[in-house]
Structure 1
Amino acid sequence: MPLLRSDTADKFIVDRRKPHRNSDVARAVRRTRDRLSQQAGSLDFDRELLKLHARAMVVSAIAIPLLVLAVAAVGRVAGLGNQVGVWALFTLLCYTVVAFMARRVERTEAAELDPVRTRREFLIGHSLCGLGWAWFAWLGCDTCQVDQFHVVKAMVLLVAMATTAVMASSLGGALLATFAVPVAVYVYAVARVWTPIEGIMASLLVVALPFFGYVARNLNQASWMVLSFRSEKDALIAEVETAKSMSDEARRRAEDANLAKSRFLASMSHELRTPLNAILGFSEVMANEVLGPMNNPTYRDYAHDVHESGQHLLDLINEILDLSRIEAGRYQLNEEPVVLVTIVEDCCHMMELRARNKDIRVIQEFETTLPRLFGDERAIRQITLNLLSNAIKFTASGGEVRVRVGWTAGGGQYISVKDNGPGIPEEEIPVVLSAFGQGSIAIKSAEQGTGLGLPIVQGLLDMHGGEFELHSKLREGTEAIAIFPLSRVMEELPALPTKAVAARRR
């Protein structure tokens, strides 16, 4: 008969057919790094610089036009006539063209830009603006009432040159394309009416052009640094996202696997215990010779060994199943009002014979006026027995175990079991608290266990809303504290008067 393959995944098993999420993230990371982690001079890097230049031109698009309007207004008042208005209109039109060009580049994706053509268009736009400033440098005013008119023009050109050096620093050559011609025109215009002050201003403009070019170049290098840092930042963010995605994926798979394991073990409770109970029963019958004497004493000893081994295996399975049910959320609490002191006293009495065999004193210090606690009696007994078993197991002969029950500072109740055994190194406490974890010193100095006692205690306390604390020092001992919250403590009911009780009985 051919095997049939199910189209649906078992809900108890990890579904390995789920797509791996890390592949998409890895491809996105590679694309980001390829786009941003580039050296200066590459196409992608040039595109980013052009985008920076376009953004700077859009943000500061109003700066130079305001200067042009202010110069035009002052020129009209000074008597320059309509020519200053025509100049202002032409210059504003040139800067408007550059602003629209920058807005278009800013809205375009970096990958769609042609860096050579875009750079050429920007330089042409700045050259047109330079023609406007060359026109301004050529303007003359024989009838205006402004002394040293050429000095004023030089000052305006210096302001415009400094502003452009800052605005267009991301585009190499923009400053030279804008003001090379105006400076030359100014020098030519001043040479015709040469005076010392005008010669100084012309020299100042000639020197200022390379100076501001140097400033613009340094600002351009700063833009390169900004892009480099942005590239590194994006690369680090991408790596963090990749690591987080991988961690989430690994954690999800681990949780699924752990849940599948817990569900499997919890569902195997009946199947595992039934044959073991049969083995224990038959071996006990054989060991006690219930059905008649056994002529061979060796067989009787073997029956005792089978019974003891089966009992040990049953205890181990019970612990594993308890922890599995807790992890799978199948452990049901049978909550009722209980007296914590009474439960702990019973547990101490149960462990008394074991402690006496090792010559260990069990000292009990209980608060006698504790109110009842709302919890699962079986779970509280298991918590207490696990803590007492560990304390007696790891305490040397002649030692003592101190058991306390009392109030917590927050109004809850606690169980404390303290021994004077070998203790646990501080770095091994997380190992001891994990499932199947055991400390190195404890393994050497005492009989080995399953390492499930404390995880079960933590799980049962979590179900009660409580906390578990473990304090230990080498060669001084260990103290385990099980804390039940205030919400579990029940208020004592007030005593009824004798007449009221008698009336109720009637």
Structure 2
Amino acid sequence: MSVDHAAEATFDGDGRPVPRVLLRENDDHRNAVDRDAAATGPSFEYERLRMFAANELSAWPAMPLLALVVCLALVNWAPIEQLGLWLAAVLMAKGIVLALCRQLENGPADADAWRGKLWAAEFLYGMTWAGLAFVDITSHHQAAYFLIFAAFVIVVASRMIFASTVMPLLYPGTIPLTAALVLRSALMGEMFYFSLAIVATAIHVYFILLARGLNATLLDMLSYRAQKDALIAELEQSRAVSEEARRRAENASMAKSRFLATMSHELRTPLNAILGFSEVMKDEVLGPHTTPTYRNYAADIYDSGQHLLHLINEILDLSRIEAGRYELNESRVPLAEVMEDCRRLMIMRAEEKGIDFVEDYDGMPEAIWADERAVRQICLNLLSNAIKFTPRGGTVTLRCSVNEGGEPFLSVSDDGPGIPEHEVPLVLRSFGQGAFARENAEGGSGLGLPIVKGLAELHDGRLELETREGQGTTAIVIFSWKRLIGRSNSEALESGEDSRLSKENAA
């Protein structure tokens, strides 16, 4: 075992073993870094370019309209020919940007190529707007320059909003405007224009910092979305694996049940011949044996064959129940009479251990609608278990009645060793046996209770075990109230309530 742990251990640079908790934390950190890197990878770069294009296309009339308003506002202070030429250049550059954005939505996902094209288009667009700063203004009217300053601030702000998804596209579209405004202000040589240049530069820096914050938020959003998509993909994959595992398990269970049903049927044919011939030899039908030991051998063969036949029948019944091939032949079944018949069949086995029967059939309705053979098998299996685990001189209690919910039920109680709580799920599984049965070699196949449970569920009922270690066990099979015959559900409810009240009074 030490070799296995050494093989699985991980060591640091100093040769010390690294705890597995730290290894898991490192793996989680690496996965987080990988997801964050994915948000800035090539596929997300292209997606951010598409977001930029979508922003441009969604608000395309705003900038041309602004250029037209500025042109009309400056018509009294600047030559109309220069303004017209400038407006045409701005509209042409904007048209190039919009055309590239439309192509980007349906074009190939080549982020580097599109980024280069859009960078050039943005630079051209910024240069055309920058040309407004060099239009001749008559009498150097300050109002005209302030209007140009305001227009430039609006354009820079809009570019900041649209290009914050891809920061490299922010600079070519905005730096030319601020640079042109600063240069023109310097050429004017007056304090007013120097002030405009300083304010324009400060606003530009502020907008860049704000755009960086928006870009960081966008990257976080894309990173979280990548994580969400990865988790959804993992969940879908896990669900597909789970569905496949469930399908295979169901197919395996069906195949097992069909195999058991087929093999059990095939085994019974030769076994009947073994039982028949061994019974003939045991009873010396064809004459006495010359050696008495042979008669004992034949009796052992017959008893073993009977045990094997009983086991095969149980396997066959359980496999039919699990495979959904157990067909109920339902009719009117007097539950109390069936329990009494089963008690008479088991009375000889009980007398061998000095076990007494106590019967309580008060409050039981006339009959229930069920498969009589299945009900008999339920009773016999429960009685067999109770007799098996009841000590010599003990008591087995049989009861039929209606519970508080108006449901008919039968129960078999013993005063044996009981079942530990953690073993209850085990004994309800096929071939499951508790520790007491294994340690004391009580025999049995571990199929009795699973068969009872399956037959009860076929009748829309259930099996309940009330047990405490060292204080005995009560097995209760409860049928649906819809299977009552002879009384209405309201009468059954009243009977169940009366029974409960009488017990409380007796207590």
TM-score normalised according to structure 1 size: 0.78
Q: Which amino acid aligns with 1:107?
A: N
1:349 is aligned, of 337, 344, 352, to: 344
Say which SS state the counterpart of residue 469 (structure 1) adopts. strand
Cα drift, residue 134 of structure 1? 1.3
Say which SS state the counterpart of residue 369 (structure 2) adopts. strand
Cα drift, residue 220 of structure 1? 3.3
Structure 2: tracts of 5 or more residues without a match = 1-32, 489-507
1:220 is aligned, of 206, 215, 224, to: 215
Aligned mates of 1:405, 1:85 — CA distance in 2: 104
Cα drift, residue 314 of structure 1? 0.5
1:99 aligned residue: 98
Aligned mates of 1:468, 1:140 — CA distance in 2: 99
Cα drift, residue 336 of structure 1? 0.7
Q: Which amino acid aligns with 1:343?
A: V
Equivalences for 1:207-286 in 2 at 5 Å?
A: 207-286=202-281
Cα drift, residue 123 of structure 1? 0.7
1:52 aligns with 2:48: yes
Change (3 A) 1:477 1:88: farther
2:376 is aligned, of 376, 381, 389, to: 381
Q: Which amino acid aligns with 1:448?
A: G
Aligned mates of 1:192, 1:427 — CA distance in 2: 93
Say which SS state the counterpart of residue 450 (structure 1) adopts. coil
1:124 is aligned, of 112, 120, 135, to: 120
Equivalences for 1:425-444 in 2 at 5 Å?
A: 425-444=420-439
Q: Which amino acid aligns with 1:127?
A: F
Aligned mates of 1:56, 1:440 — CA distance in 2: 71
Change (3 A) 1:114 1:303: same
1:488 aligns with 2:483: yes
2:443 aligned residue: 448
Change (3 A) 1:57 1:139: farther
Aligned mates of 2:87, 2:436 — CA distance in 1: 90
User: What value does the CA root-mean-square deviation take over the aligned residues?
Assistant: 3.4
Q: Which amino acid aligns with 1:207?
A: A
Say which SS state the counterpart of residue 331 (structure 2) adopts. strand
Q: Which amino acid aligns with 2:371?
A: D
Cα drift, residue 298 of structure 1? 2.1
Q: Using CA pairs below 8 Å that are at least 6 residues apart, which structure has the higher relative contact order? A: 1
Say which SS state the counterpart of residue 61 (structure 1) adopts. helix
Q: Between the two proteins, what is the percent identity of the paired residues?
A: 42
Cα drift, residue 79 of structure 1? 5.2
Equivalences for 1:2-401 in 2 at 5 Å?
A: 40=37, 45-59=41-55, 61-63=57-59, 65-66=61-62, 68-70=64-66, 72-73=68-69, 76=72, 87=86, 90-108=89-107, 112-138=108-134, 142=138, 148-193=143-188, 196=191, 198-401=193-396
Q: Which has the higher helix share?
A: 2
Number of residue-to-residue matches in the alignment:
453
Q: Which amino acid aligns with 1:203?
A: I
Structure 1: tracts of 5 or more residues without a match = 1-35, 494-506
1:424 and 1:442 in contact (8 A); partners too: no
1:421 and 1:478 in contact (8 A); partners too: yes
Deviates more, 1:465-474 or 1:370-379: 465-474
Aligned mates of 2:41, 2:36 — CA distance in 1: 7
Aligned mates of 1:483, 1:196 — CA distance in 2: 100
Say which SS state the counterpart of residue 155 (structure 2) adopts. helix
Deviates more, 1:75-84 or 1:246-255: 75-84
Q: Deviations over 1:429-452 (max 9, x none)?
A: 333222222233443356132122
Q: Deviations over 1:196-225 (max 9, x none)?
A: 555344223223333333333343344444
